[in-house]
Amino acid sequence: MKPFTLNPALVKGEVILQARNVSKVYGSTHALKGVNFEIRRGEVTTLFGENGAGKSTLMKILSGVVTPTDGEILLQGEPKVFHSATEARDCGISIIHQELNLAPNMNVRDNIFMGREIRHAGGVDFAEEARITRHLMASLEEDIDPLTPVENLRLGQQQIVEIARALSVNARILIMDEPTSALSAAEVAVLFQVIRDLTSQGVAIVYISHHLEEALEITDRAVVLRDGVMTAWARRDEIDLEWIVRNMVGDHFDLGAPPQGYDFGPPALTVNALTVQSKTGIRLVDALSLSVQAGEIVCIYGLMGAGRTELLECLAGRLTPQSGQVLLQDTDLAGLSVSQRIRIGLALVPEDRQRDGLVQTMSVGENLSLASIGAFVRGLVLSRRREKQLIDDTIRNVTVKTAGGEAAIGSLSGGNQQKVVIGKMLATRPKVILLDEPSRGIDIGAKAEVFRLLAENARKGLAVVYTTSEVGECLSIAHRIVVMSKGRIAAIFDASVSKERIMAASGESLVA
Tens-digit pLDDT profile for residues 290-317: 999 999 999 999 877 789 999 999 999 9
What pLDDT does 261 receive? Answer: 94
Strand 432-436 relative to strand 381-382, pairing: unpaired
| Helix 384-397 × helix 414-426 angle, to 10° | 120
**What is the DSSP-derived secondary structure letter of residue 401?**
-
Residue type, 38: E
Residue type, 191: L
Residue 274 CA from chain centroid, whole number? 28
Q: Please, which pLDDT band fits residue 98 given cuts at 50, 70 and 90?
A: low
What pLDDT does 254 receive? Answer: 66
Cα distances (angstroms) measured from residue 484 to each of 184, 469, 503: 14, 11, 10
Mean pLDDT of 248-263: 78
**Is 54 or 373 the better-scoring residue by pLDDT?**
54
**Is 379 or 259 the better-scoring residue by pLDDT?**
259
What pLDDT does 51 receive? Answer: 67
Q: Does 136 have pLDDT greater than 80?
A: yes
d(CA 370, CA 376): 10
What pLDDT does 179 receive? Answer: 82
d(CA 301, CA 471): 7
Mean pLDDT of 209-224: 88
d(CA 423, CA 431): 14
pTM of the model: 0.63
d(CA 122, CA 332): 60
* CB 463 within 8 Å of CB 494: no
Residue 434 CA from chain centroid, whole number? 17
What pLDDT does 509 receive? Answer: 45
Residue 328 CA from chain centroid, whole number? 29
E strand or H helix at 464, and its extent? strand 463-468
Mean pLDDT of 153-174: 84
Q: Does 344 have pLDDT greater than 90?
A: yes
Q: Does 390 have pLDDT greater than 80?
A: yes
What pLDDT does 498 receive? Answer: 87
Q: Please, which pLDDT band fits residue 484 given cuts at 50, 70 and 90?
A: very high
d(CA 105, CA 86): 23
Mean pLDDT of 23-48: 90
Q: Does 125 have pLDDT greater than 90?
A: yes
Mean pLDDT of 88-95: 89
Q: Does 244 have pLDDT greater than 90?
A: no
d(CA 228, CA 54): 5
d(CA 416, CA 420): 6
* pLDDT tens per residue, range 436-463: 988 876 777 778 888 988 999 999 999 9
What pLDDT does 512 receive? Answer: 33
Q: Does 145 have pLDDT greater than 90?
A: yes
* CB 168 within 8 Å of CB 132: yes
Question: Computed over its alpha carbons, how large is the radius of gyration of the chain?
Answer: 24
* CB 76 within 8 Å of CB 7: yes
Q: Which range is least confidently modeled, 51-60, 138-147, 266-275, 329-338?
A: 51-60
**Is 420 or 171 the better-scoring residue by pLDDT?**
420
| Helix 155-167 × helix 185-200 angle, to 10° | 10
What pLDDT does 506 receive? Answer: 81
Q: Please, which pLDDT band fits residue 2 given cuts at 50, 70 and 90?
A: very low
d(CA 311, CA 56): 33
**Highest mean pLDDT of the ranges 175-179, 209-213, 437-441:** 175-179
d(CA 436, CA 430): 16
What pLDDT does 236 receive? Answer: 92
In this structure, the number of other CB atoms found within 10 A of the CB of residue 471 comes to 20
In this structure, the number of other CB atoms found within 10 A of the CB of residue 361 comes to 10
Mean pLDDT of 321-333: 96
Q: Please, which pLDDT band fits residue 343 given cuts at 50, 70 and 90?
A: very high
Closest CA to 62 of 34, 101, 91: 91
What pLDDT does 508 receive? Answer: 56
What pLDDT does 296 receive? Answer: 97
**Is 348 or 441 the better-scoring residue by pLDDT?**
348
**Is 215 or 507 the better-scoring residue by pLDDT?**
215
Mean pLDDT of 109-131: 92
* CB 274 within 8 Å of CB 252: no
* CB 136 within 8 Å of CB 168: yes
Q: Please, which pLDDT band fits residue 284 given cuts at 50, 70 and 90?
A: very high
Q: Does 386 have pLDDT greater than 80?
A: yes
| Residue ranges with strand state E in 9-111 | 15-26, 29-40, 44-48, 70-75, 78-80, 93-96
Mean confidence (pLDDT) of the chain: 87
Q: Does 510 have pLDDT greater than 50?
A: no
Closest CA to 454 of 484, 436, 478, 472: 478
What pLDDT does 3 receive? Answer: 41
Beta-carbon-side half-sphere exposure of residue 251 (alpha carbons within 13 Å): 0
Q: Please, which pLDDT band fits residue 490 given cuts at 50, 70 and 90?
A: very high
